[in-house]
C-alpha cells in the first residue's frame, strides 16, 4: 500500500469509513428497489398491459392511453373536481389559520394560548376513516346538525347526498383537521419575529389593528407566501384518503377526483395501463406547477422550496 500513494489514500479512507458505507447500504438498496425501480414502471402508460406478459413484454401502443383519457368524460370530471376541491381548500382553509394565529398571538393568557393550540391540533392525529365516521355522526339524517334542526322544528337537510352541500362539508372538515397544524407553523414564525418592532409601533401611537396590519402580518408574509404558492403548486394533486372516504355514491359527481379515479379504473377495474397514464399526466402537470411556483417564490426574493 505504501508504494502507491493514491491507492493507499483510498485504502485508508475506506478503512476509516467502511462502516458508514455499510450503514448506507440497506437504505440505498431500499431506495433503488422501492423508489426508483417503480419509476421505470411508468412505461406501462405507453403500453397495452398484459398481466401474463408483464411490464416489459407487453406491446407498445404509444399515446393511445392518453388519447383515451383526454376523450373520456370521467377523466375531465375527475380533473375538474380535483381543482374545485383544492381551490375551495385554498379559499376557505388558507386564511383561517392566519387569522387565528395573529389574534392568538395578541393574547396575554399563556393558558388559553396553549390550550387552544393543543386542542385545535388534535384532529390532525385522526385518520380520515375516523373523520368520515364523525362526519356521518354530524351530518347524516340522524346526525347532530339535523338533531338541532329538528329540535327547532325544521325539516332534515341531506348534507351528504347533495353534491353542492357535500363540498362544503369536505372543506369544513379539512379546516377542522388541518388548521391546527398551520396555526402552529404561523405561531412559530410569529415567535421568531422581532417583538421590539411592535413595541416601537405602540410607542409611536399605532392602534392595535394598525400594528397587526403594518407590523405583525409583514413579519410572517414570507411564511404566508411560501405556503400559499406551495398550495397553488399542488392544485392538481389531491390526497386519496380524504375524498375517497368522505365521498359516497350519491355525490360521485363532486367527490370523484384524480386519485380515486386512478384507484377505481386501475386497481378495482384492472386497467393498469390506462390508470398509469392518468396518474402520469397528474404527476407531470404537478411537477410543472411546483416548478413554476418555486420560480415565482424565488422571483419574489424568497428562498424557494427546491
8 binds other proteins (CB under 8 A): no
Rg (the chain; Cα; Å)? 26
Interatomic CA distance for residues 239 and 256, integer angstroms: 12
Cell 351528504, located at residue: 160
CB 165 within 8 A of CB 159: yes
Smallest separation (angstroms) from other proteins to the CB of 285: 13
Q: Using CB under 8 A, which residues numbered 13 to 32 contact other proteins?
A: 13, 17, 19-21, 23-24, 26-28, 30-31
Helices and strands of the chain, counted as H and E runs:
17, 0
Smallest separation (angstroms) from other proteins to the CB of 67: 18
Name 157's Cβ contacts closer than 8 Å, sequence gap at least 6. Answer: 145, 146, 149, 165
Interatomic CA distance for residues 84 and 110, integer angstroms: 39
Q: Which of 130, 269, 292, 300 binds other proteins (CB under 8 A)?
A: 130
Smallest separation (angstroms) from other proteins to the CB of 64: 16
Cell 386519496, located at residue: 240
Binding mask 174-213 for other proteins (x = CB under 8 A): --x----x--xx--xx-----x--xx--x-----x-----
Interatomic CA distance for residues 163 and 69, integer angstroms: 24
Smallest separation (angstroms) from other proteins to the CB of 81: 18
269 binds other proteins (CB under 8 A): no
Window contacting other proteins (CB under 8 A); options: 58-66, 75-83, 86-94, 276-284: 276-284
Q: Using CB under 8 A, which residues numbered 210 to 249 contact other proteins?
A: 223, 226, 240-241, 244-245, 248-249
Q: Using CB under 8 A, which residues numbered 150 to 169 contact other proteins?
A: 150-151, 158, 160-161
Query: Based on CB atoms, which residue is closest to other proteins, 85 or 227?
Result: 227
Q: Using CB under 8 A, which residues numbered 247 to 266 contact other proteins?
A: 248-250, 259, 262-263, 266
Computed from CA positions of residues 41, 47, 48, 53, in that sequence, does the dihedral angle turn out positive or negative?
negative
Q: Using CB under 8 A, which residues numbered 64 to 93 contact other proteins?
A: none
The upper half-sphere exposure of residue 303, i.e. CA atoms within 13 Å in the direction of its Cβ, equals 1
Query: Based on CB atoms, which residue is closest to other proteins, 1 or 130?
Result: 130
37 binds other proteins (CB under 8 A): yes
Interatomic CA distance for residues 302 and 226, integer angstroms: 8
Which residues, listed in sequence order, are joined to residue 47 by a DSSP beta bridge? 60
Interatomic CA distance for residues 101 and 183, integer angstroms: 6
Smallest separation (angstroms) from other proteins to the CB of 228: 14
Query: Based on CB atoms, which residue is closest to other proteins, 20 or 60?
Result: 20
Q: Which of 1, 12, 87, 107 binds other proteins (CB under 8 A)?
A: 107
56 binds other proteins (CB under 8 A): no
Name 289's Cβ contacts closer than 8 Å, sequence gap at least 6. Answer: 232, 233, 234, 235, 236
Interatomic CA distance for residues 166 and 122, integer angstroms: 23
Amino acid at each position: 500500500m505504501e508504494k502507491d500513494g493514491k491507492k493507499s489514500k483510498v485504502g485508508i479512507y475506506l478503512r476509516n469509513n467502511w462502516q458508514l458505507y455499510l450503514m448506507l447500504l440497506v437504505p440505498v438498496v431500499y431506495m433503488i428497489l422501492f423508489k426508483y425501480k417503480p419509476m421505470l414502471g411508468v412505461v406501462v402508460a405507453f403500453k397495452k398491459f398484459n398481466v401474463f406478459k408483464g411490464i416489459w413484454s407487453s406491446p407498445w401502443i404509444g399515446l393511445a392511453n392518453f388519447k383515451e383519457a383526454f376523450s373520456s368524460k370521467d377523466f375531465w370530471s375527475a380533473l375538474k373536481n380535483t381543482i374545485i376541491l383544492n381551490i375551495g381548500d385554498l379559499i376557505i382553509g388558507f386564511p383561517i389559520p392566519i387569522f387565528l394565529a395573529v389574534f392568538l398571538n395578541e393574547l396575554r393568557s399563556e393558558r388559553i394560548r396553549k390550550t387552544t393550540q393543543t386542542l385545535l391540533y388534535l384532529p390532525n392525529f385522526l385518520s380520515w376513516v375516523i373523520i368520515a365516521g364523525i362526519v356521518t355522526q354530524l351530518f347524516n339524517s340522524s346526525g347532530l346538525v339535523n338533531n338541532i334542526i329538528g329540535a327547532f322544528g325544521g325539516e332534515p337537510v341531506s348534507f351528504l347526498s347533495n353534491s353542492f352541500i357535500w363540498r362544503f362539508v369536505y372543506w369544513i372538515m379539512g379546516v377542522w383537521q388541518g388548521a391546527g397544524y398551520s396555526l402552529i407553523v404561523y405561531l412559530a414564525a410569529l415567535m421568531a419575529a422581532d417583538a421590539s418592532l411592535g413595541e416601537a409601533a405602540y410607542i409611536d401611537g399605532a392602534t392595535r389593528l394598525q400594528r397587526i396590519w403594518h407590523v405583525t402580518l409583514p413579519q410572517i408574509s414570507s411564511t404566508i407566501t411560501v405556503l400559499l404558492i406551495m398550495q397553488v403548486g399542488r392544485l392538481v394533486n389531491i390526497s386519496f384518503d380524504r375524498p375517497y372516504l368522505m365521498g359516497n355514491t350519491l355525490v360521485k359527481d363532486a367527490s370523484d377526483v384524480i386519485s380515486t379515479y386512478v384507484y377505481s379504473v386501475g386497481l378495482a377495474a384492472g386497467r393498469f395501463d390506462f390508470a398509469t397514464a392518468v396518474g402520469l399526466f397528474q404527476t407531470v402537470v404537478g411537477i410543472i406547477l411546483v416548478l413554476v411556483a418555486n420560480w415565482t417564490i424565488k422571483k419574489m426574493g424568497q428562498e424557494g422550496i427546491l
